[in-house]
Every structure is written in structure tokens, then in C-alpha cells.
Chains A and B, each alone.
Chain A
Amino acid sequence: MSDASYLSLQKLTLAYGDTVAVPDLDLDIAKGELIALLGPSGCGKTTTMRAVAGLLPVKSGHVRLDGADITHVSPNKRAVGLVFQSYALFPHLSVYENVAFGLKLKGLRGAELDKKVRSGLTSVGLSTFADRKPAELSGGQQQRVALARSMVMEPKVLLLDEPLSNLDARLRLEMRTELQRVQKETGVTMIFVTHDQAEALALADRIVVMKAGKIEQIGSPEDIYNRPVSSFVADFVGFENIFPLENGRLRTASGLEELSSQPPSAAGLAWRPRMVSLGTGPFRGTVRGTSFAGDSREYLLDTPLGAIKAEVEASAPAHPLGAELAFDLPAHKAAPLSTFS
């Protein structure tokens, strides 16, 4: 076992009945990494996570953890923790008993049990809530109980299902910091599933973008954000102007278009709205929509190329609806895409 493949999914195929949800997935995760599985719903990210936990039987392929093949190890013997999206706290047990649940099954009793439960609760800042029932806690508190309940088991891998999606914006930031702190302090390998690119970018060491059961791209947040390899990833991380490239020219709604400068060789090019230069350039478009977002202003243009989204500094003069504008799609700013779908 190398350090880079502490958790290793090898040719993993997962299915619900006869419907294959994830075909032949290969993924290596290093010890102590914080990985995000990112993708739209139905992309197989949750399925993959459930297979790692052992909640979904594997159709073929292997799951290896810490040098051992755990493909057919039952979920209660895997040392894998899971924080559910709904938290899945036991409603009839107090916060203390929830955290103690797994430890008791491990055979811990008395002072040793109490010490572990207390320190687990303290580490998530809930030591004064020990006697409350889950229903008496806020969403954020419930999630921290779920986190403590998993962490006191000292899992080799901690899985988190959409950990921030049920929280409001303020709690989200708090929880994000909390997760990073727990990860740093314990060194646990963490995998979280999300459909929110901002969440993945902010939290993960490495992001695995999935589409239709397959890995579309693996990379650091910078890679994913700046250098998407496919039109799918580009679209997912906010490149709104995406075109295929044919013989150095853009394939657009009105046929092949020459760019203002020589493009790199790629299957397609993608521009974020703020990469579009407005005011000068070889293309023309009509303002169809405009929205003001404080620092910036976004325009939706009707152009012979198709719809174009452009973003400029809010301090620039505003253009009214119906105004005709020149614009450019500078080739040197575009992200080159190696696959286009």
C-alpha cells in the first residue's frame, strides 16, 4: 500500500437492480486527504459514497482500505463513519446517548465510555447539551452531534453527505471551518459529497467531478476552477460561454466563426462572463437582459454566436436594454477543453 492509495476503489461497478449507476470506477485517495465528490444529482456521487460505507453491495470491483480488501466486509465492521445529510440522529436517545451508541457496541463502559463521550461532545462545543433530545437542537447543533457520534468511533474514513446543504449561510461558514479543524486535528481521511461547486472549492484538498457515474476530472480546487478539462466541468464551475472548436474556429449558432487571435488547439473553449471583453471586438450583440450585483454588472447578449453572458465592473457605464454592443472572446483568456459533449 502506498500512501497515495489509503482508500482505493478499483474497477468499482455499482448498480440498483439491473440499472448500472457507476461503471468501472477507479479512484485512489491518500491518507488524511479531504476529498470532495462533486456533481449534479444522479451523477453517482452518493452511490459511490454508500458503496464505500458498505450500505450498497458492490456489483464488481474492489474497495481497499488501509491495505485490506473491504469489498465484502459488512458496514458495521468497516471503521467507516458517515454523517448523513439528514444527520440521522436517534430521536429517542439524548445527545449523550447518541454519541455513546457506537462506543457501547464496542464494549466500552463506565469511566472510559464517559470520558470519550464527554471529549467528543466538547470537541464540537456541545458539552452542555448532553441531556437534550435531538428534536430540541438546531440543525447546526444536530449536525455537530452527528459529527461527534462518528468521530468518537475513530473511523479510518469519514464520509459526509451534503454536509452544508441544510444549513443557512452563516452556519455554513461556521461548519466549514469546523470540518477543516476536525480534519486537521485528527488527520482523518474525509470524503464529502456535494452538488455545490463553491462548497467543494472552499473545503476540499482535491475535487473529484463526476458525471453519469464516471469521473470527469480530478484536481485541486485551482485546477477545477481555472482549468476545467471538459465542457461539463466548465459549465458546472461557472463558465457560461462554451463553444466547440473546429480547425481553429468556433462552432456557433451561425456557423464557424474566426476568433480575433489564434486559439490553442483544443476540442472547445470556455469563457467566464468576466472574461468577455465588452465594448470592442469583432462581434456584435444586443443587450437582452442586465442585472446589477453590487461590484459588477452582468449582461445577457443576443448575438449571432448565440446567447453570450458578459460581466463588467459596476463602475463602467451602464448599457440600456436593446443597446448594440461590440464584444470579443479573447482566445488567450479562454479555458481550453479537451473533451466536448
Chain B
Amino acid sequence: MFQNRAEALALALPAAIFAAAVFLVPVIILLSDGFRDPVGGWTISAYTDFFSNSLNQTVFLRTLRLGAIVTVVSAVIGYAAAFAIVSLEPATKGKITGLVVLPLMISPVARTYAWIVILGRTGIVNQAFQALGITDAPLRILFSETAIFIGLLQLFLPLMIISLISALENMPKDAIPAARVLGANWFQVFWKVVLPLTKEGLVIGGTLVFTGSLTAYITPAILGGSKVLMLETLMYQQVSVSGNFVAASVIAFILIVMSFAANILLKRVATARNKVRSQG
């Protein structure tokens, strides 16, 4: 550790000042807009207005609901996939993990665009359904919550899987056989042993997926269209269509509060675990 403070500040301050000037200060001013009373002083009337509008309520609840469903479904699929992957031979495991991570490198626009081909009116799903005689007329899958759900799940599932893979790999090797020897069935093994021991990874993955889903723009923009809005697309509309910057500020604040809440939850759970560990 070097002691020279002036040197340290000279090195660190340019980045900090840049981030503060270009990012922190403008964002704080933007967030404060929603609390500013046009006649002076502060008010939360913009928030009461926002939540009294039924369209806004729908969008807010939809965003929360989609975030929650995507997180839960990706956790369920994530555990199955992570279990399957950690049980592979090391060489195969590396390749499969690479395939899971690969989509993260591809532009979200490209990844989301693919669903138009699959879910569209003449897309593969509708072709298959009609060929199999499940439906007569093409189903409207695109521009719905289902389409957004599928898009978000595909976008964020890799984050959950890799979080759970590393959690499962860090689990004590003998935990599962030990529990089996003690007479636990597979359900009990998962509930009483695996889940507590991988909680940290689940929380990390869950936070990434949840905040990612809340704040996704591309997926609802492409797969939800202008009718099925989420908070981010609503915010974009408020600015570019209505020029309502106060509403945009309110949405921004809600998004940030929800992201931070998820982040704090993550840290809580992680430190709670650390405490237990240091006591034991």
C-alpha cells in the first residue's frame, strides 16, 4: 500500500469526476424533477398522478409480474440445466458452458429479432400449429406478454445458469451423498441441502435476471410493440411521443428504486450468509 494521498487522488479523481459530471449529477437532477412542484418547493403529486392512471398501473404491474415470472422460471430451468452441466465430464462441461454463455456476446437486437421469425403470424410456431391442426387461424403470439416473457427468458437465462453453475461447483462435494446416506429423498436433498448451500448463487443470478428484466428496453420494444408496454418502453413513449419529462422522471425513479432494492436484497442475503460462516 502506497501512502501518498495526493498521488492517489490525482490518479483516481479524473475517472470519478468524469462519472460524476457525465452520469451522476445529470441523473440526480433528472430524478429530482419528479419531486419538483411547478410553483416551487417539493411535492409527490407527480407520483400520485402517475399511479392514479390505470394505464400506468397496468404497465407497472406488468413490469413487476414479468420480472418475477422470468426470474422464477429461469431459476427452475437454471437449476435443472446447472445440475446437468456440472455432472458432465470437464471437457464437455467447458464446451456446453461456452454454448450457454455464447448468446451473451450476441447483440440483444439480433437475439430478440429472431423471435419475430419464430413467433410471427407466419412464423414457425404458427406454421407448426396449423400443420398439426391445433389451430385453424394463425395465433397472435407476437406483441403480447407471452412474447416478451419468452424474449426476456432467452436473454437472461444464461446469467442464471452460470450463477448456479458456480454455486453448485462451490458446494461441498459430499453434501448430497451425505444427505442421501442420512435418508433424505431427492426432494428433501434439494430443499434442505442444495438450496441453502447455493442460495448465494441463486440470489446473484436472481438479481441479475430480475433487474435485467425490469430495465430491458429492446425486448418489450420489439416483441411488445406499442400496445404492450413495460416501464422502459412507457418511459420512452412519454418522452418521445408526449414530451412528458415529469412522468419520465417518475418512471426513472421507480426503475432505480426497484433495481436498488434488488441489489440491496442481494447484499443482505450475501452478508447474512457471511456472518453465519464467520461464526461457524
Contacts and interface: CB of A to CB of B under 8 A. Distances in A.
Nearest to A15: B3
A56 B3 CA distance: 8
A155 interface: no
A16 B5 CA distance: 12
A16 B3 CA distance: 8
A56 B2 CA distance: 8
Interface string A15-26: 011000000000
B2 to A, nearest CB: 9
Contacts, number: 4
Interface residues of B, number: 1
B231 to A, nearest CB: 47
A57 interface: yes
A17 B5 CA distance: 11
B47 to A, nearest CB: 46
Contacts of B3: 16-17, 56-57
Interface in A54-71: 56-57
Contacts of A56: 3
A146 to B, nearest CB: 21
Contacts of A16: 3
Nearest to A56: B3
Interface in B1-56: 3
Nearest to B3: A57
Nearest to B4: A57
Interface string B151-183: 000000000000000000000000000000000
Nearest to B1: A16
A17 B3 CA distance: 8
A139 B3 CA distance: 30
A14 to B, nearest CB: 11
Interface string B235-274: 0000000000000000000000000000000000000000
Contacts of A57: 3
Nearest to A57: B3
B8 to A, nearest CB: 13
A57 B3 CA distance: 8
A335 to B, nearest CB: 40
A56 B1 CA distance: 10
A120 B3 CA distance: 33
B6 to A, nearest CB: 12
Interface in A1-58: 16-17, 56-57
Nearest to B2: A55
Contacts of A17: 3
B9 to A, nearest CB: 16
A87 to B, nearest CB: 19
Interface in B203-229: none
A74 to B, nearest CB: 12
A301 B3 CA distance: 50
B4 to A, nearest CB: 8
Nearest to B5: A17
A273 B3 CA distance: 46
A265 to B, nearest CB: 47
B264 to A, nearest CB: 31
Nearest to A55: B2
A335 B3 CA distance: 43
A13 to B, nearest CB: 15
Nearest to A17: B3
Interface string A253-290: 00000000000000000000000000000000000000
Interface of A: 16-17, 56-57
4 contacts: A16-B3, A17-B3, A56-B3, A57-B3
Q: Which 4 A-B pairs have the closest CB atoms?
A: A57-B3, A56-B3, A16-B3, A17-B3
